[in-house]
Structure 1
Amino acid sequence: MADHGEAYNGRKAAVLIPLYWYGGEWHVLFTRRSEGVNDHKGQVSFPGGAIEADDRNVYQAALREANEEIGLELGDVEILGRLKDYITISQFVISPIVARINWPFPIRINSSEVSRVFSIPLSFLGDRANIEIRTHTFSDGQTTRLFYFAPYDGELLWGITARITVRLLKVLGFLENSY
């Protein structure tokens, strides 16, 4: 997988997109943010967060955050690559890092940040019948496409996490680039 990092000026964050093989198919691991976090309470996300001064790069930041949030150890991770950076409405620059993880691993949830860890099979995510695209118009007249995935195991995948997931599906060949 290629490294699609880009340079921006803004608050920087990194997320880990953990992939694992189970039951004859690939799964993507997600978290649901706790109600105690400052932003995006109760929303589905990837493990990750703000890049700290001690982080050497976005890879280290994503791995550190995954360890802090769900107990994922470095020895259980193989970095596969990096997707293009995303700029959120709040001007965060998110660097998505794709990795294969060993499964199972001893999940240790940091309940101050995460309320749940779950996975969704790539076959479900890559099925176009499970993706809805809506157009949102901002007050300045600009528009953007918003992606919503059908609920899976009671969880709704939308927002920047859905957008990053769609990019992953394109890179893996599940969706065409026009999607």
Structure 2
Amino acid sequence: MQSDPIEPINAAPFVPMPSFDPRTVPVTAVDHQLPVVAASQLTALALRARFGTPPTWSPEVRREPRFADRVPAQAAVLVPIVMREVPTVLLTERTTHLSTHSGQVAFPGGRVDPEDINVAAAAMREAWEEVGLESRFIEVLGSLPTYTTGTSFIITPVVALVKPGFELTINPYEVADSFEVPLAFLMNPANHRRHTIVWRSADGESQRREWFSMPYQDGAHERFVWGATAGMLRNLYRFMIA
């Protein structure tokens, strides 16, 4: 399994974004009209078949507007589908002191290191380093097209089944919390909200950024899935519904 090559990020000039709380940005649309991925498609057998013989499809979100002046870097994340009676996706909440995407809901993942033999190896290594998820519980199914963040990370999402029975050990420097969200919730577009923020850059030009969010109420906690993580989940939805 090979990742897409690092490409120059020149689709748009670097335009700094103002600080904002994504939870306060108004919802512009919710995709109630789109079909739900059936529960029968979310079993281990069906997921193996889908990745084994993938459909013809196109990702909906490939690149965010560039809002950080960074050199592009190859990265990989693990999209861990835990095969419980009701399948879930394992997610993390990043600590607030990290230099990029601090405090956000994320997949386990990070930069691809030179010693990683491929992006799947990088994603599994990062999952072990961040949350202590052992590779013996992981069955890699395949990868989705790259997703380039506004911070210039070119991310390959590596989708995998995870056998229950694992015990997590969270790295407190990188991860504040871990939790699971039902896969069916994330594959229901009625839970996919669209947001838009518009601001003026230093030169007076109007700038615009759009993104998805998929807030999940986890007991007393609202897990605010948005941005790159929601964009990659939206692409997984498109892959599953194709």
The bucket for the TM-score relative to the shorter chain is: 0.7 to 0.9
CA RMSD of aligned residues (A): 2.0
Please identify the structure whose Cα radius of gyration is greater: 2
TM-score by length of 1: 0.86
- Establish whether residue 122 from structure 1 lines up as the match of residue 190 from structure 2: no
Separation in structure 1 between the aligned mates of residue 87 and residue 209 of structure 2, nearest angstrom: 30
Structure with more contact order per residue of length (Cα contacts < 8 Å, sep ≥ 6): 2
Q: Hey, what does 2:80 align to over in structure 1?
A: 18
Separation in structure 2 between the aligned mates of residue 128 and residue 118 of structure 1, nearest angstrom: 21
Structure 1 segments (4+ residues) deviating >3 Å: 135-145
Q: 2:4 aligns with which of 3, 6, 16?
A: 6
Displacement of 1:129 after TM fit?
Answer: 2.4
Consecutive unaligned residues in structure 2, runs of 5 or more: 8-71
Displacement of 1:83 after TM fit?
Answer: 0.3
Q: Hey, what does 1:146 align to over in structure 2?
A: 211
- Establish whether residue 166 from structure 1 lines up as the match of residue 227 from structure 2: no
Displacement of 1:134 after TM fit?
Answer: 2.3
Separation in structure 2 between the aligned mates of residue 72 and residue 163 of structure 1, nearest angstrom: 24
Separation in structure 2 between the aligned mates of residue 102 and residue 77 of structure 1, nearest angstrom: 7
Matches within 5 A, 1:37-48: 37-48=98-109
CA contact (8 A) 1:69 1:109 kept: yes
How many residues align structurally? 171
Q: 2:90 aligns with which of 13, 20, 29?
A: 29
- Establish whether residue 82 from structure 1 lines up as the match of residue 143 from structure 2: yes
- Establish whether residue 93 from structure 1 lines up as the match of residue 91 from structure 2: no
Separation in structure 1 between the aligned mates of residue 196 and residue 227 of structure 2, nearest angstrom: 12
- Larger relative strand fraction: 1
Q: Hey, what does 2:133 align to over in structure 1?
A: 72
Separation in structure 2 between the aligned mates of residue 166 and residue 8 of structure 1, nearest angstrom: 22
Deviates more, 1:153-162 or 1:6-15: 6-15
CA contact (8 A) 1:4 1:83 kept: no
Deviates more, 1:141-150 or 1:100-109: 141-150
Residue-by-residue CA offset, 1:66-109 (whole Å, 9 max, x unaligned): 00011111111100000000111121100110000111301110
Q: Hey, what does 2:40 align to over in structure 1?
A: none
Separation in structure 2 between the aligned mates of residue 130 and residue 142 of structure 1, nearest angstrom: 27
Deviates more, 1:151-160 or 1:11-20: 151-160
Question: Could you tell me which amino acid in structure 2 is paired with residue 167 of structure 1?
Answer: N
SS in 1 for 2:141: strand
Residue-by-residue CA offset, 1:125-163 (whole Å, 9 max, x unaligned): 122222111244575667554101133312100000000
SS in 1 for 2:184: helix
